Structure 1
Amino acid sequence: MKYAIYNHKDYRLNIRNDRLRLRTHEPEQGFRELVDQTGNMTNLFIKDVTKEEVDLVYELKFLVAYKGKEFEPYSLGRHILDENEISLFSMDSNDVDCYGFEKQEQYVFKKDVPLDDIEAIIEMKKPILIFEDLPESRKVIPRGETRDFIMKLDSLYNGNS
């Protein structure tokens, strides 16, 4: 998912040619409500800006630390709290023997892991576009804080989606 920091706030982002379109579900000054093709209001507010008007444009990605290795989650959201487990995937066939992953399809391996067994969630922000020379940031959410972090994910990153 792509985001931009604009006026000290993170917004979901669409990129078209050289235009950046910020998105939020909250009405904000300078944003206009998007109207769908049939004329219905969408509760989605947008603002077009240039790269020069934002503080940063980045791709957001999450990793999960499990038994000393980092894996990508299939998804990360409140449903994980209900299921009390997280699905991890790998493209490394060695993970079948080392970590108990199961083959899903060619070169794709999956494992469902109880939430209490993960060591951390890692939030990765990789700068893109004119910001790509900036360093990538990594924020580690330790085991004791992962449930709270997952609970807040929707408001942190999807409240402005």
Structure 2
Amino acid sequence: MVKSDEVPWNSMISGYATNGHGLEAVELFKKMNVAGMRPTKITFMGVLTACNYCGLVEEGKKLFEAMKLDNGFVPDREHFSCMVDLLARAGYLEEALDFLEEMPFDADASMWSSVLRGCVANGYKAMGKKVAEKILELEPENSVAYVQLSAIFATSGDWESSALVRKLMREKHVKKNPGSSWADC
């Protein structure tokens, strides 16, 4: 790839990222740098997404720091969100929370939801409860937070608490959104 602008590089990196080829995306990012192409914020979004989808935690951390230190970019909300999701998916929940606290802006419900999904996947009941409460402060009608909190209790065998969460959903008239798939589109 000898094109002199970053658009084809970004397209390829993002394509690799969204199709589960994280290592190839990171490798292409390195080749881009060797070729003398300066990455953009979009480039970093693509390569961080690749790290996220493929669980490349250490690589993602290095790239996030390189974005700031080597390239002088101030990460956007999307970059922070991607890093929080990467850390939470990989089970680095304390680090994900630290990341949320250190951001230069308030985390939104979707960022907190990334951490909540990590709590569900890793059985962190106490942390999951606090995170769900934070989501519900931001979005009281967020059915996903209720459902995931119920799941945390259920997977740990705390059926009574799980039932209480479901009861609270009914009392507040919060409805679970029906599932969908690409076949439904």
TM-score norm. by structure 2 comes to: 0.17
Higher relative contact order (CA 8 A, sep 6+): 1
Identify, as 1 or 2, the structure richer in helix.
Answer: 2
Identify, as 1 or 2, the structure richer in strand.
Answer: 1
